[in-house]
Structure 1
Amino acid sequence: MSLVARIEAATPAHRDRTIDALRAVAIVGVVLGHWLVSAVVSDPARPAAWHGASPLADRPALIPATWLLQTLGLFFFAGGYAAARGSRGRALPWLATRFTRLARPVAVLAVVWVPAWLLLSAMSAPESTLHVVRSLLVHPLWFLLVFLALTGCAPLLRAAVTRYGLWSLMPSVALVAACDVTRHLGTADWLHPVATVAGWAAPYLLGIALAQGVLPRRAGPVLLPGGIAAGAGLVLLAGYPASAVGVPGDGWSNLDPPSLFALALAAAQLGVFLLVRDRLAAWLRRPLVWAPIAALNLAAMTVYCWHQTALLLVTFAGMTLGRLPGLLDEPAGAWPVHRLLWLPVFALALAGLCSAFHRFEK
């Protein structure tokens, strides 16, 4: 049998392929977003000294791209759906399996990078370079702590949706709103970790609601325009940043912790998903369409854990050739176009890393 045929034959008939497609879109969006906004700049007088920069800082025209590539809400929605379907009647075994699958790829990443980090330190790498490497590797992993917390609470969250329906989202939204108020006032920073978990609990609960039949398809025409209207109102009337990710100079980020704007964006994205879900399901019944979606889902954690390593490996290699356009130069001028040309190189490096480390996710 061909690989496509084997994947099709191995897929259970009851599996919801649309959720896997949504998860694939979320992973691809996050990876591309990180590759496109993570500018690593080398000092012309001291090439080994790096600092981070963002192409979004001086280009407001690029901000709409963040609305498409900031897809964490979709990821947590898919996680909530999987939790509701997987933990029924066997919560403890499901939790153990889930925690193991999430933790093992991260542990392997640490086993590789801790010695590499010590080697860079021993070679007297500039502190600014060490900071860039640390940020690129560690910051994308923050969401795993939130995801693990929500996974551990999945049985309780499922019970809340069963009892209160969509009203179970209200405490999460209220906590995020309270945190936004304190950020505007410059008080109560201790609320930020709580708001981070509460903020991503909202799409997680929506995923549970879909799995339990509480979130109907007709919610799509409500979530899409409602999310767009809420996001526009927050930016135009309440002074929220328009970017879905942090931008130097904005003062605060819609993502750290997630703000009401982040929830509005997730609502709009999920509205689109609900509107196209039936047509998407029919499309995914084609083996050639389904095979790459299934393959990416099987390697989702490996892709996420190693995508910034791929960027760093290409960047380290690029040092030998100088400040190539889109790599190690300032994110000015035509930098975004040049960066697009590097995406296949990053993807090729990531494919090699996945080939080496995917075995630890299986």
Structure 2
Amino acid sequence: MAIVGVVAGHWLVSAVVSDPSRPAAWHGASPLAAFPALTPATWVLQTLGLFFFAGGFAAARSRRERATRGRRDPAARNRPGLAARFVRLARPVALLAAVWLPAWLLLKATGAPDSTLHVVRSLLVHPLWFLIVYLILTVIAPLLRAAVGRFRLWPLAPAIALVAACDVTRHLDVATWLHPLATVAGWAVPYLLGVALADGSLPRRAGRILAPAGVLAGAALVLLAGYPASAVGVPGDGWSNLDPPSLFALALAAAQIGVFLLVRDRLAGWLRRPVVGAPVAVLNRSAMTVYCWHQSALLLVTFGGLLAGPLPGLSDAPAGMWPLHRLLWLPVFAVTLVALCAAFHRAERVRTRRRPPR
């Protein structure tokens, strides 16, 4: 759900507009600025909270399972842990850079307009910012799990307080040095909730609190405190709920996680069916490849569209029927992404040599 929401969201809000007089000259635009009625869609498609929640759960569960296997099988202690997780994250990114850096230099050498180079660089690089945060949280995952084990959910309080302090400084336009700290602290909140779920500290009934509390908090922040209603950045809003994550982003994450907790048992039942569980397992194993290459799929289709001139929903300005036309392009993006994943998914595989037990 998290990876599909992020990918679909990026495809729907990343408008690449081609200049009618110079088709090779592009600039970026946001359909949310032209269609404010689409703002509620961002509450569904902005799923980074779920992404970090799943990451915290996976990190805590993996560590617990390795500890259990280590007690039963001494050889299990030699199996890959943190280093393998780093490699699993780094290899797809390195491959993306190996392909696109020469391509970007070629575009520059052949005289591509600066605006086009900016659009290509932005679409490829900007979605990768979260990896730095994810790596930091992966490194400190043992400390976070120990904190949850000792203090249960109380470590959430200082993280939320830091995000609130950063929001205040943003309104006052001071202390920009807080932004990197607030970014890590903000996404540590759903990450900690994922750790708590893996350790049994987050019961299903917590969803009855998180879901309504997240909705009410988000509504209050927008209606009473003047926060932007969009869950993603929109030109003209002044500031984004994602850069760094604001209290509204945390409220949205709480609501989404609360809903998940309430439907988790039913989802687990569906996943026992191979027709549902198998595709989910495949997507989970290829999550990094999908994330790294999804904007490449959009760019490749857009480059191909230059041969046919401005196409509705692909290279025209977001106006009129643009949202409907863009929906019709999503299957084309998806097929292109599947082809890219088939070519590059091996980069996620981590091969290690197992040393025999002494």
Match of 2:222 in 1: 235
Note the alpha carbon deviations across 1:229-270, whole angstroms, 9 max, x for none.
000000000000000000000000001100000000000000
TM-score computed with the length of structure 1 as normaliser: 0.92
For the Cα contact (< 8 Å) 1:77–1:207, is it kept in 2?
A: yes
Match of 1:273 in 2: 260
Whichever residue aligns with residue 43 of structure 1, its letter is D
Match of 1:28 in 2: 4
Match of 1:58 in 2: 34
Match of 1:83 in 2: 59
The alpha-carbon deviation at position 287 of structure 1 amounts to 1.0
Number of aligned residue pairs: 338
Is structure 2 residue 283 aligned with structure 1 residue 312?
no
For the Cα contact (< 8 Å) 2:190–2:253, is it kept in 1?
A: yes
C-alpha separation in 1, matches of 2:339 and 2:265:
35
For the Cα contact (< 8 Å) 1:87–1:95, is it kept in 2?
A: no
The alpha-carbon deviation at position 94 of structure 1 amounts to 1.4
Whichever residue aligns with residue 346 of structure 1, its letter is F
Whichever residue aligns with residue 75 of structure 1, its letter is F
Structure 2's unaligned 5+ residue stretches are: 68-76, 350-358
The alpha-carbon deviation at position 93 of structure 1 amounts to 3.9
**Which residue of the other structure, out of 157, 164, 185, is the alignment partner of 2:144?**
157
Whichever residue aligns with residue 54 of structure 1, its letter is S
**Which residue of the other structure, out of 244, 248, 252, is the alignment partner of 2:235?**
248
Match of 1:130 in 2: 117
Find the residue that maps to 2:23 and give its secondary structure: strand
TM-score computed with the length of structure 2 as normaliser: 0.93
The alpha-carbon deviation at position 31 of structure 1 amounts to 0.3
Match of 2:335 in 1: 348
Whichever residue aligns with residue 201 of structure 2, its letter is V
Instruction: Give the ranges of 4+ consecutive aligned residues of structure 1 lying more than 6 Å apart after TM superposition.
Output: none
**Which residue of the other structure, out of 205, 215, 220, is the alignment partner of 2:207?**
220
The alpha-carbon deviation at position 279 of structure 1 amounts to 1.1
For the Cα contact (< 8 Å) 1:209–1:215, is it kept in 2?
A: yes
Whichever residue aligns with residue 52 of structure 1, its letter is G
Find the residue that maps to 1:182 and give its secondary structure: helix
CA-based RMSD of the aligned residues comes to 1.1
Match of 2:198 in 1: 211
For the Cα contact (< 8 Å) 2:34–2:318, is it kept in 1?
A: no
Q: Structure 1 residues 204 and 293 mapped into 2: Cα distance closer, same or farther (>3 Å)? A: same
C-alpha separation in 2, matches of 1:126 and 1:289:
45
Whichever residue aligns with residue 59 of structure 1, its letter is F
The alpha-carbon deviation at position 80 of structure 1 amounts to 0.3
Note the alpha carbon deviations across 1:185-242, whole angstroms, 9 max, x for none.
1111111111111100000000000011111111001000000000000000000000
Structure 1's unaligned 5+ residue stretches are: 1-24
Match of 2:317 in 1: 330
